[in-house]
Structure 1
């Protein structure tokens, strides 16, 4: 009983993916990122200096960073140490007693540890939905897509994707951001999801899909703000200086209302009066940055 020693193998690439039965696409406004069971206990079964672990950790780190930048919620699962036999139940028959209550094994591996605002679910069964608040969290946040990363592909990741299907949640299994007992089991999980309950996808494909939201946003940088205001004024961005009073160069109340509404659509709730009383790009950018910090 217990975890096997897992041999190294090459992380699958885009060319290794099976054909998906459905054409779902990741939508940044609908998705939640799930980082599944990335505890040191589960990673200790590998030679962590050999593939697939460096790629696994690095790819999850990249995906999390981009999700955070776009306001996509990040959810973790983590099993507790020293589980009561009544809680562990049938898992003991297959996997023994599980994790000890020791930070060195229960912790999420370094570089992808949860941030304060991330949701960490206590994991009791293969599925991340079982005895957790995952489904209610999806409903409360108005999201119906689950982007799945972590270990192990053919156990918890696969069962979670299957249960997501049962709950009418679209699941996306990120082929190069999961790992398994072997390359064969890794591919088995990809094939099952692609043909029965979800979509298999690569990190690059996920990033491209959610980047669309980034591209649609006007105000993620000072240059984006200046470009949009210049467009409203029918001027070249190079003509607008950060400290210049925008009212003096033609920004009337109608255009000011447009800026306020576009900010609101991007989740930045800076009121009209604040913009009117501080009508420079420098002041507006400071207000945007401060609002974003307060919202985190």
Structure 2
């Protein structure tokens, strides 16, 4: 009845993202971030020093920082430390007393701790919209896109995405900023949302700049036609990168570095040269 001990697994990679039925463009001016149930209690089932949770927390933190920098509102869900039988109702049958047995673990993990500008929502059921002002607050601020991160992918996160869709709010499920009971259930949740209620994306797709040279390579590789991978100092055009895709990258990266344009990228189209441009001002 209660959640059993969970184990780390490899997060979905970009090439494993299911085909999205919709092609909604992400718009920071219309978006909000949801950090779903990232409480010590729920993460504790993986134990200490879980590589899976460390990476998920890292990705959520990067998205949260981006949202803070771009005036994107951040919402949290958190189950209360005590719940009456009436409030908990059928959850008792399915999961037992849950968090009420460990009220000291109610806090959001320290690396993602909310600040005074964030909104905390009391979580009563799988959907973050149930008995909460989330829909009203989103619509009052002109936000109709919801970035969904957290745990557990195939329960609260997937149900919240579907509920958002039914309220005409476009959900963006961030594949590598979610964790689940298993990799199989994680991928199932992504397939369901991609085909039925939202768009599945990777963290890097929402951030204007890749966080590392490795992340830049991950972003560029799907844009190439050749099966062979270029070295960091090799010309990407020789591997099939076309001008249309390069212009799209320039437009994206110009949001962070206003001097970047197509000519600058085309002058030296290598991973090394582009990382030198993008990492300006980044502390190592």
Matching of residues 64-83 of structure 1 within 5 Å: 64-83=64-83
Matching of residues 1-296 of structure 1 within 5 Å: 1-100=1-100, 104-208=104-208, 215-216=254-255
Paired with 2:33 and 2:51, the residues of 1 have a C-alpha distance of 23
1:111 is displaced (CA, Å) by 1.1
Is residue 70–residue 214 contact of structure 1 (8 Å, CA) maintained in 2?
Answer: no
1:208 is displaced (CA, Å) by 3.0
Give the stretch that moved more between structures: 2-11 or 33-42. Answer: 2-11
1:41 is displaced (CA, Å) by 0.4
Paired with 1:26 and 1:151, the residues of 2 have a C-alpha distance of 22
Is residue 208–residue 252 contact of structure 2 (8 Å, CA) maintained in 1?
Answer: no
Paired with 2:191 and 2:256, the residues of 1 have a C-alpha distance of 35
1:216 is displaced (CA, Å) by 4.8
Alignment size in residue pairs: 220
- The unaligned stretches of length 5 or more in structure 2 are 210-248, 260-284
Paired with 2:8 and 2:148, the residues of 1 have a C-alpha distance of 21
Q: Please state whether the residue corresponding to 1:77 is helix, strand or coil.
A: strand
Paired with 1:10 and 1:208, the residues of 2 have a C-alpha distance of 24
Q: Quick one: structure 1 residues 130 and 180, their matched pair in 2 at CA, closer, same or farther if it must change by over 3 Å?
A: same
Paired with 1:61 and 1:194, the residues of 2 have a C-alpha distance of 24
Q: Please state whether the residue corresponding to 1:52 is helix, strand or coil.
A: helix
Paired with 2:91 and 2:157, the residues of 1 have a C-alpha distance of 16
Is residue 175–residue 201 contact of structure 2 (8 Å, CA) maintained in 1?
Answer: yes
Is residue 208–residue 256 contact of structure 2 (8 Å, CA) maintained in 1?
Answer: no
Is residue 48–residue 54 contact of structure 1 (8 Å, CA) maintained in 2?
Answer: no
1:3 is displaced (CA, Å) by 1.1
Q: Please state whether the residue corresponding to 2:98 is helix, strand or coil.
A: coil
- The unaligned stretches of length 5 or more in structure 1 are 219-223, 228-296
1:84 is displaced (CA, Å) by 0.5
1:87 is displaced (CA, Å) by 0.3
Paired with 2:65 and 2:103, the residues of 1 have a C-alpha distance of 24
Q: Quick one: structure 1 residues 108 and 18, their matched pair in 2 at CA, closer, same or farther if it must change by over 3 Å?
A: same
Q: CA RMSD in A?
A: 2.2
Please name the residue that 1:280 is paired with.
none
Paired with 2:252 and 2:97, the residues of 1 have a C-alpha distance of 44
Paired with 1:152 and 1:3, the residues of 2 have a C-alpha distance of 11
Q: Give CA-to-partner distance per residue, 1:176-235, whole Å, 9 cap, x none.
A: 0000000000000000000000000000001139x97994589xxxxx8xx9xxxxxxxx
| TM-score (normalised: structure 1) | 0.70
